[in-house]
Chains A and B, each alone.
Chain A
Amino acid sequence: MNLFSAQAIEDVREKQAEWEDGELAAALKSRPEEKPAYETECGIALKRIYTAADVADIPASDLGFPGAYPFTRGAYPTMYRGRPWTIRQVAGFGNPEATNQRYKYMIQTGQTGLSTDFDLPTLLGLDSDNPMAFGEVGRVGVAIDTVDDVDRLFDGIDLEKISVSLTINPSAWVIYAMFVTVAEQRGYDLHKLTGTLQADPLKEYVAQKEWIYPVRPAVRLLRDLIMHSARTTPKINPISLSGYHLSDVGGNALQEIAFIMAFTIAYCEEVIDAGMDIDDFAPRLSFFFISHQDFFEQICKFRAARRVYAKIMSERFKAKMPESMRLRVHVQTAAMSLTKVEHHNNLMRTAIQALGAVLGGCQSMHTNGLDEAFAIPTEEAMKLAIRTQQIIREEINVTSVIDPLGGSYFVERLTSDMETEIWKVLDEVNERGGAIKLVEEGWFQQKLADSAYATFKKIDSGEKISVGVNRYVDETSGSARVHIHPYDDHCTQLQIDRLNAVRTNRDNGRVRRLLQELAQQAESDDINLLPKTIELVKARATLGEICGALRDVWGSYAEPMIV
């Protein structure tokens, strides 16, 4: 069933033709438009005006209702009327205690979920005393070496009550093991633990570039994590499929969604091949997208993504439960849109992007601090960022009506156009042999690098405008000196001292034996590595030791040469 009758469409077309010949023609004659053609950031052509005729071919079933297939209009039936989105600002730096303190400050400011950034050595499975960790310990996130660090990180925080998002990737399965071990030690019910791990390996190889192992073993670790988590911590999302990072390296909105859906398909196939039913794990797949600058494109992107995902789950994987088809998304505003020059402008950018995410129906959000383009946000910057979300939520009445832009001729047309383009990419990925193979070959990497360079050229030539940077430049404003979050120089030594203490006090023979057992298990593709990892964590094996044992088995990833 279509949205409009054939007769109504006919009338609109006729009237539009009259208007074009009349008012429009006259206006164009007296004042030509500023540009010969208009398009979205991702290159979809934009018309001057959209009418019912533009949505005549869209079946009403493609819109549906919120909380029902195909979820175009929202993930839940009541959306923000029932539950506002979670304000989830990410934080992490220094020793676990430093981050713990920041958490307590943010909870007091009204934050409703926690989110942890880890430092690079932790992400890459290196202990703080590894030579490659030089200068990086506790720098871009919190440093974690052993299970005791995770305990310190969540000291005084009730993990049954607040959900925790862990931005952890190649070493995610170890951090998960530490997290559940801490929960167990504190006597929590594992079935009540809520939270999310990022653990999206394919996007690492194409975008964020934090990797340890070759592609296939990394996907296997994710598979093990998804399956173990589904059975023992059913309310934890073991993965957050992260389109955000694809945008961060230059991908446009279509690439963000299409590539992430291609990765989703690859992961689902892995888990299904290992014998798990789609409905037993799909409800816990979660997503992480960007809210970027092109306002309407971004809103339509969220809507199109929900629709595409629902169709993939239903049609390709024959999922039966609606929960398996419901795309839930955490959103972060676009850090790369922020500027160092006139950095206060970043508040406005972020507020508008956040509004877009809300109109697009996000489930949780991180708004960037105005200094996020150049440093870990200060407390003041974080507070302003939280306030931005609170103002949208409480003061401007955009949460009373679900999907308020639904039915807009323009929004529905653009949503549909984006969906079509996403399917085209997914078809191509299929034809070329699937996402894993294409990641190994560098196909996605090349597309993103090309897109990044094209965007740079547009900024360089002034075609893409950045206010204060390449338009309305005020030479006197320059880039303000801002207060930068201080780095604690003692952080590294403290972590190293603690590592030494752990290594002295534990049963080293046992740790060695368990590491050998883990390596043996890794040789076979059929054994889930999580139980052994949890044993290791409890025996106080370090993150670096556990990751290193598997590196010896699988080797390290060698990146393809893509510039």
Chain B
Amino acid sequence: MTETSTVDQDSNPGADAEVHSPGTIRVLVAKLGLDGHDRGAKIVARILRDAGMEVVYTGLYKSPNEVVNAAIQEDVDVIGVSLLSGSHVPLFRELGRCLREQKAEHIFVVAGGVIPEQDYAALSDSGVDAIVPQEARADLIVTTIRNLIAARGRI
């Protein structure tokens, strides 16, 4: 998939930080519900930072409503949620509902963690745009996000 020129700026680590520009991708990395497993979320935060993105980390125990409010204030392009508690179906359903209610559907939702394939369709129906498998390498996570934004364009 091709990337737009604005997105390309992020893949240029040596670039003068002063000229960051319209292309800087902002991601909210969130933990939903009561799941305390934050190793993956924090690793993803570092991966995205090292790929030139700005990552807002929410900390643990956030409700879908709180996450959506934070995402709007931070004007992020993507909400990345890692869930290992098995409660992804109801929590993503609620997250999607909050996004629609707040008219924030321009924000992408990327899911990670432990998500069985049979739940992919349910998550997709709830508004999840991409699901990254548990064993994904760094570049897959980064390109998944870049591709989503390249397809949407900057807003």
The answer to whether A136 and B61 touch across the interface, beta carbons within 8 angstroms, is: no
**Segment of B7-15, B16-24, B32-40, B147-155 in the binding face:** B32-40
Interface centre among B33, B86, B135 (most CB of A within 10 A): B86
When the two chains form their complex, are residues A452 and B94 in contact, meaning their CB atoms are under 8 A apart?
no
Interchain CB contact (< 8 A) of A135 among B45, B60, B91: B91
Q: In the assembled complex, how far is the CB of residue A306 from the closest CB belonging to chain B, in whole angstroms?
A: 28
A25 to B11, CA, bound (A): 47
Q: Interface segment, B67-75, B103-111, B113-121, B123-131? A: B113-121
User: In the assembled complex, how far is the CB of residue B60 from the closest CB belonging to chain A, in whole angstroms?
Assistant: 6
B85 A136 Cβ-Cβ under 8 A: yes
Taking chain B's interface residues, is the majority helix, strand, or loop, or is none over half, making it mixed? loop
Complex interface: chain A residues within 8 A of B61 (CB): 124, 132
- Known interface pairs A136-B87, A456-B43. Does A375 touch B114 (Cβ–Cβ under 8 Å)? yes
Q: A499 at the A/B interface (Cβ < 8 Å)?
A: no
**A340 in the interface, Cβ–Cβ < 8 Å?**
yes
Chain B's nearest CB lies how many Å from the CB of A556? Answer: 9
Contact in complex: B86, A140 (CB < 8 Å): yes
* Contacting pair A481 B118 (CB below 8 A): yes
Given contacts A139-B86, A559-B59, A559-B60, contact A208 B43 (CB under 8 A): no
Residues on B with C-beta less than 8 A from A38 are: none
Chain B minimum-CB-distance residue to A560: B59
Q: How far is the CA of A415 from the CA of B35 in the complex (A)?
A: 36
Which chain B residues lie closer than 8 Å to A453 at the CB level? 42-43, 46
Complex contact A452–B118 (CB within 8 A): no
- CB-CB under 8 A from A470, the residues of chain B are 137
**Least CB distance, A41 to chain B, in whole angstroms:** 16
Residue A539 at the B interface, CB < 8 A? no
| Given A136-B33, A373-B114, 20 other A-B residues pairs in contact with their CB atoms under 8 A | A120-B35, A121-B34, A124-B34, A124-B61, A133-B34, A134-B33, A135-B90, A136-B34, A136-B87, A140-B85, A209-B36, A210-B34, A373-B134, A374-B134, A375-B86, A375-B114, A449-B39, A456-B47, A456-B138, A460-B137
CB closest residue in chain A, given B135: A469
Pick from A135, A340, A460, A559: contact of B134, CB below 8 A. A340
- Can you list 23 A-B contacts (CB < 8 A)? A120-B36, A121-B34, A133-B34, A134-B90, A135-B87, A136-B34, A136-B85, A139-B85, A139-B86, A139-B87, A208-B36, A210-B36, A248-B39, A250-B39, A340-B135, A374-B134, A375-B114, A452-B43, A453-B46, A456-B43, A456-B47, A460-B137, A559-B60
C-alpha spacing A466/B118, complex, angstroms: 25
Is A275 interfacial (CB-CB < 8 Å)? no
Residues in A with CB closer than 8 Å to B39 are 248-250, 449, 452
Docked pose: A563 CA to B59 CA in angstroms: 10
A469 / chain B contacts, CB cutoff of 8 Å: 135
CB distance from B92 to the nearest CB of A (A): 9
Question: Once bound together, how far apart are the Cα atoms of A132 and B60, in whole Å?
Answer: 12
Contact B86 A487 (CB under 8 A): yes
Contact A134 B94 (CB under 8 A): yes
Please give the distance in Å from B40's CB to the nearest CB on chain A. Answer: 9
B4 interfacial contact with A, CB 8 Å:
no
A132 touches B34 (CB 8 A): yes
CB–CB B133/A340 < 8 A = yes
Q: Say yes or no: B63 contacts A120, CB within 8 Å.
A: no
Bound-state CA distance A469–B134 (Å) is 11
**Bound complex: CA A105 to CA B44 (Å):** 40
Contacts of B133 in A (CB 8 A): 340, 479
A339 an interface residue at 8 Å Cβ cutoff?
A: yes
Q: Which residue from B42, B89, B117, B134 sits with its C-beta under 8 Å from A452?
A: B42
Number of interface residues of B (CB under 8 A): 33
Query: In this assembly, does A131 line the interface, its C-beta being within 8 Å of a C-beta of chain B?
Result: yes
A468-485 interface code vs B (CB 8 A; 1 in, 0 out) = 011000000001011010
In the complex, the answer to whether A449 meets B85 with C-beta atoms within 8 Å is no
List residues of chain A with CB within 8 A of the CB of B34: 120-121, 123-124, 126, 132-133, 136, 210
B42 near A484 with CB under 8 A, answer no
Q: Give the complex CA separation of A432 and B79 in angstroms.
A: 38
Residues of B within 8 A of A28 (CB): none
Q: Is A561 an interface residue (CB 8 A)?
A: yes
Closest 8 CB pairs of A and B: A209-B36, A135-B90, A120-B34, A135-B87, A249-B39, A210-B36, A139-B86, A563-B42
Contacts of A365 in B (CB 8 A): none
The residue on B at minimum CB distance from A339 is B135
A376 interface residue, CB < 8 Å from B?
yes
A341 at the binding interface (Cβ < 8 Å): yes
Do B138 and A460 touch (CB < 8 A)? yes
Residues of B within 8 A of A487 (CB): 86
Choose among A139, A204, A375, A459 the residue that contacts B116 (Cβ–Cβ < 8 A): A375
Complex CA–CA separation, A48 to B117 (angstroms):
45
What sequence of 0s and 1s flags, for each residue 186-225 of chain A, a beta carbon within 8 Å of any chain B beta carbon? 0000000000000000001000111000000000000000
Contact mask A394-419 → B, CB, 8 Å, 1/0?
00000000000000000000000000
A209 to B63 Cα, complex, angstroms: 16
Within the complex, the shortest CB–CB distance from A78 to chain B, in Å, comes to: 39
B43 neighbours in A (Cβ, 8 Å): 452-453, 456
B57 pairs with A563, CB closer than 8 A? yes
* Neighbouring B residues of A484 by C-beta, 8 Å: 116, 118
Known contacts: A456-B43, A563-B46. The answer to whether A481 contacts B86 by CB under 8 A is no
Q: Note all chain A residues with C-beta closer than 8 A to B86.
A: 139-140, 375-376, 487
